[in-house]
Structure 1
């Protein structure tokens, strides 16, 4: 396959993860199409030029429209604030580009649906940044469940907590504004938990939820006063899955001491599995086997036997990291573009995840159970 040109819009936290992933994906995986870091976009132009040099991109621009229409670009990575995704993605699709967009797709389900429909109509490949489900520990848990290791699934309990908004003195940012961020903790964190719940148990049929804004205002960074926090800091939901299992989902961006506690446990008729992203290379399996005195949790440490760990390291216990999951995600996208199976999660998949977080918000506002 011919070389694919990468165009990156945005150089913040997620922009850097995309650059690192594309910069190393062929060296790590080997079986992906050749790529070229063609064009990077940020503002002002001087910043774009500095970051292009740092990230290894051939050229820089401060005009994202020029990037999506550049003939040297085949794949557009969109890593900008949430409210910019919709316009940029639709323009990239109209230009015939494959699109790798960070979550959430957009601020509303209507906009996200438009993006998914446009991609389907254009026949381009899409990928959305739910990279936690690319963890070899997670995919191993899926295989254990498929093999019947814990029997039939009856209950799922998950939570995703961070403390980046726990301090009331933390300055107000765009993440607190509905017009820029959309949902709060749900859009930033909760959707990741939903993607895992889907991968472990399957679709969610209905839920009943509640949410709260812990800190109603935050100080402006320039010290001129306070601004209103328009979206939620915490949210919780009781859910019913299509398979008949029940469960609970909880998320908070105001949980002191939690840095990335994206954790869950799934209970079956023969045992259970536990996972915590803060210890992302470990999986705990309990099986109801043998006498009570010999039963206990087995710690499964990720290693070469859990693909694609071996592509990074031949030895167990050396551990993968967050950016490695991004490499796995980028590799799966490139393979899909080359024709080796569908991309996952694509825009249609992400839309299903995001239907759930919007249902949580709707249920909390209405005080009733909501069907999805």
Structure 2
């Protein structure tokens, strides 16, 4: 299957290009970017045959079967809708859109067109997160009482730009990181947050968007979730904890694009270090997406997964703005 990449982004160059090329018979044949100069340089650097500023050029190519979208957030909806109308499979970066309505429209359009739609939530493809999910499903911690995610990092200079300066482009730590933590929570606990309370702040790293957030979520099972996301913490590291009636899981350094970190299970019998595979998160995610386009299984994170992670993030932002508890609206999914 040939792919068109929409957005000459860092994630596309550092992770997704190799992930696609690792799939037998798959190649990236188009790169689309708004900048004529950037798109030509990017295509040459990555050996992509066709470079254009016109999405229509790429999706009108009958040899293109899939479109990967990693443009700025405000462009996702229109680009995905155009690709779906052209009967292309779509793998879109999170968040799917700027609003719940945009995200649900994309997913419903893909369903109607009978094309595969995936959300590129890479963390659920990691060996560490899949090992943690298995421990929970096996009952190793008993009934889950709480989940804590510490995802406060320092956003590298080369990734800042619109993420810290442009609300119109979908910037801010909430659409950038809270969506990840929402998907991780849903993936691990296999249930959807019901209500959220939150606070957010801006330290001055950028202008016009929040760069730090803390929130507490209630789950239908009665479990509580606490998350902390930030762009401003250079030395904090990241961690994930699951606490239950029979044990606790401590996972350090696993909220990352790389297959690293350590997992410890603590129960009444002592401490157990949990091994996990170190495969590429992105190769795994693209592999499962490609299989889904061929009628085998589903993407690691499908369209409804993307809708739901966005819904939680939007609810967190509303709760932080209003100071009120917010019920999460999943738009019918």
Same fold per superposition (TM over 0.5): yes
Matched, 1:12 2:1: no
CA displacement at 1:171 relative to structure 2: 7.9
- Match of residue 338 from structure 1: 294
In 2: Cα distance, 1:44 partner to 1:177 partner: 18
Is the CA contact (8 Å cut-off) linking 2:12 and 2:70 kept in structure 1?
Answer: yes
Is the CA contact (8 Å cut-off) linking 1:68 and 1:97 kept in structure 2?
Answer: yes
In 2: Cα distance, 1:353 partner to 1:146 partner: 21
In 2: Cα distance, 1:43 partner to 1:158 partner: 36
In 2: Cα distance, 1:174 partner to 1:236 partner: 18
- Match of residue 266 from structure 1: 242
In 1: Cα distance, 2:140 partner to 2:73 partner: 39
- Match of residue 312 from structure 1: none
Structure 1 residues 238 and 47 mapped into 2: Cα distance closer, same or farther (>3 Å)?
Answer: closer
Residue deviations 1:292-311 (CA, integer Å, cap 9, x gap): xxx2x322232xxxxxx4xx
Q: Which of 266, 270, 293 is the equivalent residue of 1:286?
A: 266
- Match of residue 254 from structure 1: 232
User: Tell me, what secondary structure is at the counterpart of 1:115?
Assistant: helix
Matched, 1:51 2:42: yes
In 1: Cα distance, 2:243 partner to 2:63 partner: 49
Q: How many residues align?
A: 321
In 1: Cα distance, 2:78 partner to 2:164 partner: 19
Residue deviations 1:270-327 (CA, integer Å, cap 9, x gap): 10112232683421111222xxxxx2x322232xxxxxx4xxxxxxxxx45xxx2111
Q: What does 1:305-344 align with in structure 2 at a 5 Å threshold?
A: 309=277, 319-320=278-279, 324-344=280-300
Matched, 1:42 2:42: no
Is the CA contact (8 Å cut-off) linking 2:84 and 2:90 kept in structure 1?
Answer: yes
CA displacement at 1:47 relative to structure 2: 3.5
CA displacement at 1:20 relative to structure 2: 1.4
Matched, 1:197 2:181: no
Q: Which of 297, 306, 313 is the equivalent residue of 1:357?
A: 313
Give 5+ residue unaligned stretches, structure 1.
27-33, 219-228, 290-294, 303-308, 310-318
Pick the structure with greater CA Rg: 1
Structure 1 residues 175 and 110 mapped into 2: Cα distance closer, same or farther (>3 Å)?
Answer: farther
- Match of residue 222 from structure 1: none
User: Tell me, what secondary structure is at the counterpart of 1:298?
Assistant: strand
Give 5+ residue unaligned stretches, structure 2.
329-333
Q: How does the TM-score come out when normalised to structure 1?
A: 0.81
CA displacement at 1:12 relative to structure 2: 1.9
Is the CA contact (8 Å cut-off) linking 2:164 and 2:211 kept in structure 1?
Answer: no
User: Tell me, what secondary structure is at the counterpart of 1:20?
Assistant: helix
In 2: Cα distance, 1:330 partner to 1:198 partner: 20
Is the CA contact (8 Å cut-off) linking 1:20 and 1:55 kept in structure 2?
Answer: no
Could you list the structure 1 runs, at least 4 aligned residues long, displaced by more than 3 angstroms after superposition: 43-47, 170-175
- Match of residue 331 from structure 2: none
CA displacement at 1:103 relative to structure 2: 0.8
User: Tell me, what secondary structure is at the counterpart of 1:179?
Assistant: coil
In 1: Cα distance, 2:18 partner to 2:188 partner: 28
Is the CA contact (8 Å cut-off) linking 2:162 and 2:169 kept in structure 1?
Answer: no
